[in-house]
Amino acid sequence: MDKHGNKEQSTHDFRLSLVDDHTHRHIWSVKFTRFSFILTVITVVLIGIIAVFCAVAYTPLKTFVPGYPDSDYKHLALQNAMKADSLENTMVLWELYSENLRRVIDGEEPVGLDSLVRLASSSRSEGLTVEMARSDSLLRQSVSEEEKFNVSGSVRNLPIDGRHFFPPVKGGVISQAYDKLIHPYADITAPTNSMVMSVLDGTVIYSGWDEEAGYTIQVQHSGGIVSIYKHNQQLLKKVGEKVSAGTPIALLGNTGTLTTGDHLHFELWYNGEAVDPSRYINFN
């Protein structure tokens, strides 16, 4: 104890050495204190955490994280969405059938199917708009939740397999299917003046008349996707207009020289290559 009554303080140093067991020659040694040892351990742990975080966030290793959606999950979600749309159409048809059956039982005049469809569409239009807005909000929230492991801050551009396409024509029937070599598009038959709708959100890049294809409209979508609609009776959108999935863009018709009846000539392009629309769209 010194003259001021304070205890003598000493700094303890440590040395880690690597020694040859036979010759006792010092091969390597390092000198450190308690503070430097703790600081080194903390630094190594932080570097390890950052390395693991970067590996998970920026490499395919993130697909092994529990809860992260993989391609199978997205494909299943797409199939379920298509089935739900088909079930909704079936329910509407049954409701129309029930209404006509009630009229017959009550002795009233049966209403034609076209009139019933228009009546049902007008009564459901407001509710359908609200439901579509709610579904779109839920879908955007789901996509944001899927992106919680993406720290890049950018919105992920989903591949074509991960998109939910809207049918270009409700109740249309494919009269001639896609063939990669002979017929790289799909012909869809439906009554004249049926609504032709955009399959995805996008921007109109062409809207005009072609001698062979008639009234034609093309929509550019994100992710390198382009949809083309030909032989229309009337076009409802102009070049540069933004459209949403399910938005009417034309009326189905039989215009142009390369047509033999009322139908929609529908093409789907992905990264500059025509693809089979039936792989991604439920036309029933």
**CATH number for the domain that contains residue 255:** 2.70.70.10
Tell me, what's the pLDDT at 148? 46
How many angstroms separate the CA atoms of 44 and 87, rounded?
Answer: 57
Q: Does 152 lie in the same domain as 49? A: no
Q: Does 175 lie in the same domain as 264? A: yes
Q: Does 242 lie in the same domain as 180? A: yes
pLDDT-based confidence at 56, cuts 50/70/90?
Answer: confident
pLDDT-based confidence at 214, cuts 50/70/90?
Answer: very high
Residues in the chain: 284
Q: Does 40 lie in the same domain as 121? A: no
How many angstroms separate the CA atoms of 74 and 96, rounded?
Answer: 34
Tell me, what's the pLDDT at 105? 78
| Percentage of the residues of the chain whose pLDDT score is greater than 70 | 72
Of 156, 187, 207, the position where a domain reaches its end is 156
Asked whether the predicted pLDDT for residue 90 surpasses 80, the reply is no
How many angstroms separate the CA atoms of 94 and 103, rounded?
Answer: 14
- 47-53-58 Cα angle (round to 5): 125
Tell me, what's the pLDDT at 75? 66
Q: Is 172 among the domain residues?
A: yes
Q: Is 27 among the domain residues?
A: yes
Higher confidence at residue 266 or residue 161?
266
Helix/strand/coil (H, E, C) string of 126-147? HHHHHHHHHHHHHHHHHHHHHH
pLDDT-based confidence at 227, cuts 50/70/90?
Answer: very high
Q: Is 284 among the domain residues?
A: no
Asked whether the predicted pLDDT for residue 171 surpasses 80, the reply is yes
Count of domains for the chain: 3
pLDDT-based confidence at 27, cuts 50/70/90?
Answer: confident
pLDDT-based confidence at 1, cuts 50/70/90?
Answer: very low
Q: Does 225 lie in the same domain as 186? A: yes
Structure tokens, 278: 């039936």
Of 113, 137, 156, the position where a domain reaches its end is 156
Asked whether the predicted pLDDT for residue 9 surpasses 60, the reply is no
Q: Does 169 lie in the same domain as 151? A: no
Of 31, 58, 85, the position where a domain reaches its end is 58
pLDDT digits (tens, 9 = 90+) for 107-125: 777 665 555 555 555 554 4
Q: Does 124 lie in the same domain as 75? A: yes
Taking every pair of C-alpha atoms in the chain, what is the biggest distance, in angstroms?
A: 119
Asked whether the predicted pLDDT for residue 145 surpasses 60, the reply is no
Contact of 214 with 256, CB cutoff 8 Å? yes
- Going 73 to 79 to 84 to 85, the CA torsion angle's sign is positive
Q: Is 265 among the domain residues?
A: yes
Q: Does 37 lie in the same domain as 132? A: no
Q: Does 94 lie in the same domain as 46? A: no
- The region of weakest confidence among 67-81, 158-172, 180-194, 229-243 is 67-81
Higher confidence at residue 139 or residue 209?
209
Total-model pTM: 0.47
Q: Does 147 lie in the same domain as 241? A: no
pLDDT-based confidence at 153, cuts 50/70/90?
Answer: very low
What's the whole-number average pLDDT of the chain?
78
Q: Is 2 among the domain residues?
A: no
Q: Does 174 lie in the same domain as 139? A: no
Q: Which domain, by its residues, includes 84?
A: 71-156
Q: Is 112 among the domain residues?
A: yes
Q: Is 8 among the domain residues?
A: no
pLDDT-based confidence at 150, cuts 50/70/90?
Answer: very low
Q: Does 150 lie in the same domain as 109? A: yes
